[in-house]
Structure 1
Amino acid sequence: MTDPVEGPPVQSADAGAGGGGGDAPPPPPPPAGTLIDDIEALIADARNWADAELVYQKTRISFVIACLKRSLAMGVAAGVLGLFALIGLTVGLVIALTPYVTAWGATAIVAGGLGLGAFLCVRAASRAWGEAIGAVRDDEEQV
Structure 2
Amino acid sequence: MTDPVEGPPVQSADAGMGGGGADTPPTPSAGTLIDDIEALIADARNWADAELVYQKSRIAFVIASLKRSLAMSVAAAVLGLFALVGLTVGLVIALTPHVTAWGATAMVAGGLGLGAFLCVKAASRAWGELMGAVREDEEQV
TM-score band w.r.t. shorter chain: 0.7 to 0.9
Shift of 1:140: 1.9
Matched residue, 2:108? 110
Q: Which has the higher helix share?
A: 2
Summarize the alignment of residues 11-90 of structure 1 with structure 2, pairs less than 5 Å apart.
Answer: 34-90=32-88
Q: In structure 2, how many angstroms separate the alpha carbons of the residues matched to 1:65 and 1:140?
A: 34
Could you list the runs of 4 or more consecutive aligned residues of structure 1 that deviate by over 4 angstroms after TM superposition?
Answer: none
TM-score, normalised to structure 2's length?
Answer: 0.77
Aligned length: 114
Q: CA deviation at 1:38?
A: 1.0
**Structure 2 regions of 5+ residues with no counterpart?**
1-11, 13-28
RMSD in angstroms over aligned alpha carbons?
A: 1.7
Q: What is the one-letter code of the residue matched to 1:37?
A: D
In the alignment, the residues of structure 1 paired with residue 39 and residue 83 of structure 2 have an alpha-carbon distance, to the nearest angstrom, of 65
* Structure 2 CA distance for aligned equivalents of residues 131 and 60 of structure 1: 36
Aligned-pair CA distance for 1:94: 0.2
Higher relative contact order (CA 8 A, sep 6+): 1
Instruction: Name the % identity.
Output: 88
CA distance in 2, matches of 1:139, 1:60: 34
Task: Give CA deviations for 1:77-127 in whole Å, capped at 9, x if unaligned.
Answer: 000000000000000000000000000000000000000000000000001
Provide structure 1 residue ranges, at least 5 long, that are not aligned to the other structure: 6-31
TM-score when normalising by structure 1: 0.76
For residue 133 of structure 2, the aligned residue among 132, 135, 139 is 135
Residue 56 of structure 1 and its aligned partner are, at CA, apart by 0.7
